[in-house]
Amino acid sequence: MAVSDLTIPSIPESIYKPGSNKKRQTIIVVVSILSILVMVILILAILYAWRKKKRPQVIVPDEPVQIIDEEYTMETGDDDTELSSFSLTKISKSTNDFANDKKLGEGGFGPVYKGVLDDGREIAVKRLSKTSRQGLGEFKNEVKFIAKLQHRNLVKLLGYCIQGDESMLIYEYMPNKSLDSFIFDTIKSSLLDWSDRYRIIHGTARGLLYLHQDSRFKIVHRDLKASNILLDVDMNPKISDFGLARMFREHENEANTNNVVGTLGYLAPEYAVDGTFSEKSDVFSFGVLVLEIVSGKKNRGFSHEKDSDNLLAHAWRLFEEGMVVQLLGAEMRDSCVVSEVLRSIHIGLLCVQHHAKDRPTMSSVVLMFDKEGALPRPKQPAFFAKGSVPQRNLVSINDITMTTLEPR
Ligand code: AMP
């Protein structure tokens, strides 16, 4: 074929125009930049979704967690702790639809019910009160702490139920309920003889030592009192209610708050007055508890016919006069071992000393109970005179824990 016969398609003129070439190049650059941007955004979105998926799930009652009808497990914090989930159907059935006669009591975040599961297991169900903001904070705190702790003298959390607007915690059931229902009750107090009481003191000391020192965390309970000691079928004590507990970092020894939380009668002076709390403020509460268990009298509201002493001052005065055994409640006179009674009161007085630095740590307290050596002489307790308990910023009515909300 002759070259002249070939039809070469004519190239549009515009391609050769210098101006339109520039326009085309601009379009290519813009499209390329846009594509790169879209790709970067896509990669970032994928990375974000992947990291979010990897992050451990934390129980937050108002962020719904997927609930299925069977029991299943979920992570509760930054470690591998796992808790069982119970369906609302199961819990309603076990408590007879939260019947009034199943109600065991009422605490910081709402009512507590007794339940029986299909397999016959008895449980205690703490139901978060829907109107309580304080309760919600305590609920989260309770899960955060108790789920990670395991000791024979701490109440055991079995699981949780979060469904719709219901948030509940499920515990092992303690058939003898709380210590206060025995020691401050004129009839039931005779059911706890000295050996029971000594075992309760000892067990509570061990539970507290575990919180302060032996667990993976350093935890200050901040609301140790007779109504927060639950008793199992053999009258073994279990510390409960971690709604106000605080975790300390490894080298942190004390902390400060403007909002003092706790219960009147059990608050250490440095906490009540300055808002400073530490393991030594728990030691103070433990000392009050020991004196209450031995005497069968409440520190708060104590009165003695001869003088205006409070319980701590009364114990101290008897100690100074060498008559401390008189502090022992009448119902234990026949069953007591005098040396154990004297040692318990002595240790109790060491724990309620005014200055935190003078009080023993819980490890020393446990050693003092376990060994028979001489004990140091206690100094005068805090709040020596009746009415010396400061009222500033204290938030407790009767024996009920009251808190003002503070960020956790
Ligand atoms: P709390 O909210 O822990 O202060 O509990 C309030 C009350 O409910 C306690 O004083 C007990 O009488 C009762 N209670 C709480 N937990 C249990 C449990 N695990 N077993 C039996 N009774 C409980």
Distance 230 CA to ligand 1 centre (A): 7
Q: Are residues 241 and 287 in the same domain?
A: yes
Please write the tens of the pLDDT for every residue from 277-310: 899 999 999 999 999 999 999 998 777 666 667 8
Q: Which residues contact 337 (CB under 8 A, 6 or more apart)?
A: 194, 195, 198
pLDDT digits (tens, 9 = 90+) for 9-51: 444 444 445 556 778 888 888 888 888 888 888 888 888 777 6
Angle of CA points 395, 107, 363, to nearest 5°? 80
CATH number for the domain including 195? 1.10.510.10
- Stretch among 2-6, 40-44, 327-331 having the lowest mean pLDDT: 2-6
Count of domains in the chain?
2
Is residue 37 situated within a structural domain?
A: no
Summarize the confidence of residues 259-288 as an average pLDDT. 90
- The helix/strand/coil state of 110 is strand
Smallest CA separation from ligand 1 atom 5, residue = 107
Compute CA 302 distance to the chain's CA centroid, rounded to the nearest angstrom. Answer: 28
CA of 180 from ligand 1 middle (Å) equals 11
pLDDT at 271 over 80: yes
Interacting residues of 160 by C-beta distance below 8 A, sequence separation 6+: 59, 83, 84, 85, 86, 143, 167, 168, 169, 170
Q: How far apart are CA 147 and CA 160, in angstroms?
A: 10
> 229 CA distance to ligand 1 centroid (A)?
9
Mean pLDDT of the chain: 80
More confident residue, 350 or 109: 350
Residues 192, 305 within the same domain: yes
Q: Is residue 15 part of a domain?
A: no
User: Can you say whether residue 150 is alpha, beta or left, with left for phi > 0 and alpha for psi between -120 and 50 degrees?
Assistant: beta
Whether residue 131 is found in the same domain as residue 214: no
| Crossing angle of helices 362-370 and 279-295, rounded to 10° | 40
* Residues 261 and 277 reside in one and the same domain: yes
CA neighbor of 80 nearest in space, from 60, 57, 49: 57
Residue 51 domain flag: no
Whether residues 126 and 219 fall in one domain: no
Q: Check residues 388 and 230 and name the one with the higher pLDDT.
A: 230
Residue 392 falls inside a structural domain: yes
For the CA of 126, the closest atom of ligand 1 is: 2
User: Span 54-82, mean pLDDT?
Assistant: 35
Confidence (pLDDT) at 275: 87
- Note whether residue 218 is domain-resident: yes
| Per-residue pLDDT tens over the stretch 127-139 | 988 776 667 777 7
Q: In terms of domains, do 201 and 240 share one?
A: yes
Same domain, 311 and 168: no
For residue 59, the model assigns a pLDDT of 31
CATH number assigned to the domain comprising residue 76: 3.30.200.20
pLDDT at 405: 32
Q: Whose CA is nearest to atom 21 of ligand 1?
A: 174
* Within a domain: 36: no
pLDDT of res. 393 = 44
Which residue among 146, 172, 198 closes a domain? 172
Residue 170 has pLDDT above 80, yes or no: yes
Of the candidates 271, 200, 205, the one whose C-alpha atom is nearest the C-alpha of residue 231 is 200
User: Closest Cα to residue 312, out of 246, 384, 370?
Assistant: 384
Between 194-209 and 362-370, two packed helices, what is the crossing angle to 10 degrees? Answer: 140
In a domain, 314, yes or no: yes
Point out the ligand 1 atom lying closest to the alpha carbon of residue 173: 20
Ligand 1 geometric centre to CA of 228 (Å): 8
- CA 326 – CA 263 distance, rounded (Å): 27
DSSP string computed for 155-182: PPEEEEEEETTEEEEEEE--TT-BTHHH
Residue 323: partners with Cβ closer than 8 Å, 6 or more residues away: none
Distance between Cα 239 and ligand 1 center (Å): 10
Of the listed 196, 223, 241, 309, which one is catalytic? 223
Closest ligand 1 atom to 106 CA: 6
- Answer yes or no: do 108 and 257 share one domain: no
Pocket test for ligand 1, best of 171, 173, 177 (most atoms within 8 A of CB): 177
- 165 and 232 together in one domain: no
Q: Would you state the structure tokens that stand for residue 371, as one six-digit string?
A: 């060994």
Give the pLDDT confidence score for residue 398 in this predicted structure.
Answer: 40
Which range (145-159, 248-262, 339-353) has the least confidence? 248-262
Poorest-confidence range of 1-15, 66-80, 165-179, 204-218? 66-80
The larger pLDDT score, comparing residue 91 to residue 63, is at: 91
Residues of the chain above pLDDT 90, percent: 49
Residues 6+ apart with CB under 8 A from 296: 183, 184, 189, 329, 330, 331, 332
pLDDT for 106-115, tens place per residue?
Answer: 876 789 999 9
Global pTM exceeds 0.85? no
Cα 158 from Cα 398, distance rounded (Å): 31
The atom of ligand 1 lying closest to the CA of 171 is 19
The question of whether 370 is a catalytic residue gets the answer no
Please identify, by atom number, the ligand 1 atom nearest to the C-alpha of residue 155.
Answer: 19
Query: Pick from 122, 151, 172: which residue ends a domain?
Result: 172
Atom 7 of ligand 1, nearest CA residue? 105
370 is in which domain, residue-wise?
180-404
- Note whether 141 and 190 are same-domain residues: no
Cα dist. 6→13, 15, 149 in Å?
20, 22, 91
Same domain? For 356 and 220 the reply is: yes
> Which among 126, 151, 172 is the end of a domain?
172
Lining residues, ligand 1, CB within 6 Å? 104-108, 112, 124, 126, 155, 171, 173-174, 177-178, 227, 230, 240-241
Domain membership of residue 11 (yes or no) is no
Shared-domain flag, residues 247 and 308: yes
- What residue's CA is closest to ligand 1, atom 8? 105
Q: How far is the CA of 339 from the centre of ligand 1 (A)?
A: 33
336 neighbors 327 (Cβ within 8 angstroms):
no
